[in-house]
Structure 1
Amino acid sequence: MDGRSWCSLDEIAPLSQLRYLILHGLEKVSASLLAKKATISSKGRLSYLRLHCSSDKYMRLTDEIEKQQQQRAIEKVFNNLCPPSCIENLGMKGGYFGRRLPNWMMAPATAAFESLRYLDLDDLPCCTHLPSGLCQLPSLDVLIIKSAPAIKSVGPEFMGSTSLAVGEGGVVAATSAAFPKLRILQLDDLSQWKEWVWEDVTADAMAMPSLECINIDSCKLSRLPPGLANGKRRHALTELNLYGFINLTYVENFPSVVDLDVFDCPKLKRISGLSRLQKIRILRCPNLEVLEGIPALDSMELQDNTMETLPGYLRSVNPRYLDLGCGKKLCESLLSSGSSSEWDKISHIRTRNIYELEDED
């Protein structure tokens, strides 16, 4: 149904030719059986599905027993809204308040979704773990996970693990790449996320071999996992965007990355080993001390209105173009003096744009 048409879950059941479906108000479904009656999984032409659920009422509850009952109820409702295997674009929006994501997102059930290319999970206030089955989606191209403040750790089950198969010689280890077609990974506002277990195991098939761009915003990770960098084997990753990492201390050994953003990383001290890097933007990373191993750098943007002096690493980089935003005092000093210790740090850069940033409130 489209945004102008409203009906009950019962009325959806006979609509076998649906291609596009958005369900709102799923928190109001009184029994999981009603969700099952919608027979979503049998709609063989459905390619686009959005499941909207509001957590407003749940979040206002004060009785813990009632909250647990509400969680179990919404989990059962979503378990009965399993998409058909032909689904291509799937989203859960608005505030799904279950602790666990639906069973059909767990292995091995996800193997049935051979056509799913786009998955968007937005606003999961109570979800404590990412589902194990997403890595098995054979065609997944874009994965977006937003606003999941209860997730503290992402373990190896998210990246897939070695499975066992029986061959002529007995039981043997069989491995396949996790997230084999994933190009874009976006993880936003996992505000309590501290640990990402993903080791660089060269003997196994590399997870996310097609990954081109990763965006991570607002988390407590202190490092990026070795499995993501995997400098010797990862060749597709060209864009890395890191925003609001309050504990990150270094970014190293991403030789395929061409475009790097690091914003609001107050503990970041070192960026190195990005041999193909052409463009970098560094915004509000006041403790960055080392920027090296970037011989191909062409364009650099540096912004921080708290800077009293320019960082020393500017002497050792040689971009064609520098875009520099700083506070009033430093800006005036650079623009009025053609010879000073600060000016000497950037005088070798061919083209410069220096401007004053407004004070932050």
Structure 2
Amino acid sequence: MSYLNISRLKISYGEKVVLHNIDLAVAKGEMIALLGPSGCGKTTLLNALCGFINVNAGDISIAGRDITHSAPEQRNITMVFQSYALWPHLTVAKNIGYGLKLRKWRREDIDRRVEELLQIVNLVGLAEMKVTELSGGQRQRVALARALAIEPDVLVLDEPLSNLDAKVRLNVRHEIKSLQKRLGFTSLIVTHDQQEALVMADRIAVLNQGRIEQIGTPEDIYQRPATPFVADFMGADNRISSVDIQRCPQITLHASADSLLPPGQQQMIYFRSADVGIGQLTDSRPDQGLIIEGTVEQSAFLGNLYRHSVRCNNHLLLADAGACWQAGSSVRLHVPATALHIFASSHVR
């Protein structure tokens, strides 16, 4: 049974519809990532959930309590903002306890709760420091502790890690996920970072142009994309049409019958550079999957691998390998049938 339920939600700004009949059910203690490109409606959905904007149609409820038209302060939902939104003139302790003070908690109870949260977010000993003296990762922990202080029904995180450098971001996202599992709070996180969503979320909702294209576990979204948009957004950066395969003798496809669409129906095939094997033309030819013969145009060193651009007629495809293939090399690319995402061309937008 769902704990947070969003049903047929519609949001418009004037004549422009931003969210189209959104349905989303979240279980208690679950973390859902809202993933999608800029302008797809992720933050608008969060703002509607928090009561910052009005809804045109639909319902929002928590534990059976309708909050669709409730004021923000009546929803018991807290948000961790991208900018942290901390009070710069206050100490760490006073920032964390600010919401409790507004709720007229007793001073000794506030102090006890703040000390508990400082331990939870690994900020023990920093209570009397000004937040301006903290690192980005520490500020994010303060913002998280402040949000958790009032024990919200739902915790909302809007691009919470985007202001952190890469190394700190990796640490903090694991800390937030560990904390969510430990405390069991229900949470929605907005991000445009696919890896961040895969690491942190129990399920992912991929949004595109105000609609949810697919909801599923990280494994489902990554390995079994339901639409061409999801496949492309989740890193399937190569694509070839069935027409190209028919016209080009350098490209052949041998896939299991259940992965192919009915005969005569045009197809678009998506696959990731990480799933492409590179070999010499003299190597034994695979008997299944997608096989492409082409010429290496350039390579880029990415640290743990090389990403190659391979030309086959009018197609420029990307393929990753541990070793660097020199420009001008004639190669054979192979993609296993299990790594191919095949859709009807009519579904490609």
Q: TM-score, normalised by structure 2?
A: 0.30
Q: TM-score, normalised by structure 1?
A: 0.29
Q: Give the number of the structure with larger relative contact order, counting CA–CA contacts within 8 Å between residues 6 or more apart.
A: 2
User: Which structure shows the higher helix fraction?
Assistant: 2
